[in-house]
Each structure stands twice: as structure tokens, then as C-alpha cells.
Amino acid sequence: MKLIGIELYKLRRKHLFPMIAIFLAVEIAWAFIVTGRLTARNSEIAGWESIIAMISSMNGLFFPVLSAVCASRICDMEHKGNTRKMLFALSVKPIKLYAAKYACTSLVLFIAALLQVLAITVFGIACNFERSVPLLLLFRFFTGTVITNMIVTVFQQWISMAVRNQAFALTSGMVGGFIGVVADLFPQHIRRVFIWSYYTGLSPVSQLYMDENVRFFVRDTGSLMPVIMVLIAAGIGIYLAGSIHLSKQEV
């Protein structure tokens, strides 16, 4: 806990939260404009499902990049100041430092996902959607986003810590974002391999094009459970590999 507090303390003048707010504002504004236009053309599809599906698909692009940016900023300060040497000399265990940085990045992204849910709720109320706020649907959307964020962050943190040149971490974030956008075009067995595809993969709402019109369907929770288990297991595997690799790396 103390190390997590220190990591957050290091971020106090990094302007990370305003940057995330701007980033989210652009994404949410874009999603709201597109959804507004879509529902104006076809009032049958207006509802909570359409905005959740739209934000989920846009998260596929935005969150991998946001995760890369956050992980890079949190890890790069140790590279820039050569402070890992100093921290290890002060008996900070590499595994604990790695865990604290991971917790800190995950917390920041958790807040970002929470802000998104709030924005969706406000948008839905402002648009006078027929049904009341679907708390369960929003909770499932939030959980899916947070789980995927945590897995993507595991991967990003490993790269940001292992490679000093942050251009590679940012590039992998961008490539991940791109895969997140186009993943729905891949066959399912290929899509499952890419961790970035789960922003839409774990979304409670799926969209299909039928008769040149887009239709939204609410997914069954039970069908996603095995996928979530495998994803979490993969995340733990990547985390342990990264943590062990970094703890054995010469500083």
C-alpha cells in the first residue's frame, strides 16, 4: 500500500488525470455524435444498447493507447532519472515495485472506465431513452472494460519497464488499438488470441448488420464466463513472466 501511495505521489505534478480527461472527452464526444446520428436515422435502435456497443467498439482503439500512455508515463520516470538503482538500494523489492506500478496504472484506468459509465448514464438520461438506467448492463460493460484494461496493462507495463525506449511501448499500444478496432472483422478463433479484441468481446451488447441495418443484441453472461477465466489466467501468466523478467534484469 505504501508503495502504491508513493507511485501516486510521484504522479501529482504529471498532469496525468487532465490528460486522461481530455482523451476520454474526445472519445465520448465522438461516440455520442455517431450514436446520435445513427439513432436519428433509425429511431428503432435508439437505446442504451446502441451507446454501450458504440463506446465498447471505440474503447478497442482508445483504451490500448491510453493504457500504453499511462504505463509509459508511470514506468518512464524510473528510466529517465535512473531511479530504479536507487530504489533497489533502498531495499525496495523489484517484484513489489512492479506490483505497485501495475496497481497504480490499473487504478487510473479503473477511474477512466468509471467516468465512461457516468458519461453514458448522463447521455442516456439527456436523450430520454425509453427504459430507465440499466444498472446491470452498465455494470457488465464496466466489468468487461476493467478486466480487459487490466490484461492490456500487464502487457504494456512489461514493455515499458523492459525497454527504455518508450517509442516501442507506444507503438505496441497503437498496434493493439488498431487490432482492437479491426478485431471484429477476424474469425472468432483468431480474434480470441488478441487481448485487445476483448473490449468488444466482453461487451454485454453485440452488434450485427442485418438487411443493411445495424441491430443490437444483449449477450448472455454465462457464455462469457469461460472466456473471462481464460483471459484472467493469461493475464496472470503475462504478469508473472514480466515481473520475474524485470526482477532478474540487470539495472
Alpha-helical runs (H) found in the chain? 2-10, 16-41, 48-80, 83-89, 94-126, 135-162, 166-182, 188-191, 198-201, 221-248
Rounded least distance, CB 60 to other proteins, Å: 12
Rounded least distance, CB 199 to other proteins, Å: 16
Q: Nearer Cβ to other proteins, position 29 or 241? A: 29
Using the rule CB under 8 A, which residue among 122, 136, 165, 225 binds other proteins? 165
Beta partners for residue 210, in sequence order:
213
67 forms part of the interface with other proteins (CB under 8 A): no
Which contacts qualify for 132-139: CB closer than 8 Å, 24 or more apart? 133/48, 134/48, 137/48, 137/49, 137/52, 137/204, 137/205, 137/218, 138/48, 138/52
Stretch near other proteins under the rule CB under 8 A, chosen from 19-27, 87-95, 188-196, 241-249: 19-27
Using the rule CB under 8 A, which residue among 80, 85, 131, 245 binds other proteins? 80
Q: How many residues bind other proteins (CB under 8 A)?
A: 33
Here the cell at position 132 is 430507465
112 forms part of the interface with other proteins (CB under 8 A): no
Q: Nearer Cβ to other proteins, position 3 or 70? A: 70
170 forms part of the interface with other proteins (CB under 8 A): yes
Using the rule CB under 8 A, which residue among 6, 11, 23, 214 binds other proteins? 23
What 8-state DSSP symbol labels residue 12?
T
User: How many C-beta neighbours within 10 Å does residue 167 have?
Assistant: 9
Contacts of 37 (CB under 8 A, 6+ apart): none
Stretch near other proteins under the rule CB under 8 A, chosen from 68-76, 86-94, 202-210, 224-232: 68-76
Asked whether the beta carbons of 105 and 7 are under 8 A apart, the reply is no
For the segment 232-251, give every residue that binds other proteins (CB under 8 A).
none
Residues that bind other proteins (CB under 8 A): 14-15, 19, 22-23, 26-27, 30, 33, 61-62, 65-66, 68-70, 72-73, 76, 80, 165-171, 174-175, 178, 181-182, 185
